[in-house]
């Protein structure tokens, strides 16, 4: 089944661009979370969840946890 996904994800320039954009955003988010130490060990769970559940679900969850932990600035 994965071969069908990858074939369709890179079928034309539009789907290639969207696929690359989503994976690049997830990679940037993961690097950002890995370097942010405000959540301690929970940050590794966020990175794993980003890979498994998706960026659109994990990013707001991470930001809410970060704000609750006092890592967010309220300027």
Predicted confidence (pLDDT) at residue 21 exceeds the cutoff of 80:
yes
For 24-62, write each residue's pLDDT tens digit.
Answer: 999 999 999 999 888 888 899 999 999 899 999 999 999
Amino acid 74: pLDDT: 55
Which domain covers residue 26, as residue numbers?
A: 2-69
The number of folded domains in the chain is: 1
The three-state (H, E, C) secondary structure of 8-74, written as one string: HHCCCHHHHHHHHHHHHHHHHHHHHHHHCCCCCCHHHHHHHHHHHCCHHHHHHHHHHHHHHHCCCCC
Confidence of residue 75 (pLDDT cuts 50, 70, 90): very low
In a domain, 75, yes or no: no
In a domain, 74, yes or no: no
In a domain, 35, yes or no: yes
In a domain, 53, yes or no: yes
């Amino acid at each position: 089944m994965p071969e069908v996904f990858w074939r369709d994800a890179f079928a034309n320039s539009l789907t290639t661009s969207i696929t690359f954009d989503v994976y690049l955003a997830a990679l940037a988010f993961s690097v950002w979370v890995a370097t942010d130490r405000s959540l301690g060990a929970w940050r590794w769970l966020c990175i794993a969840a980003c890979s498994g559940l998706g960026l659109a679900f994990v990013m707001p969850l991470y930001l809410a946890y970060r704000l609750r932990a006092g890592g967010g600035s309220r300027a």
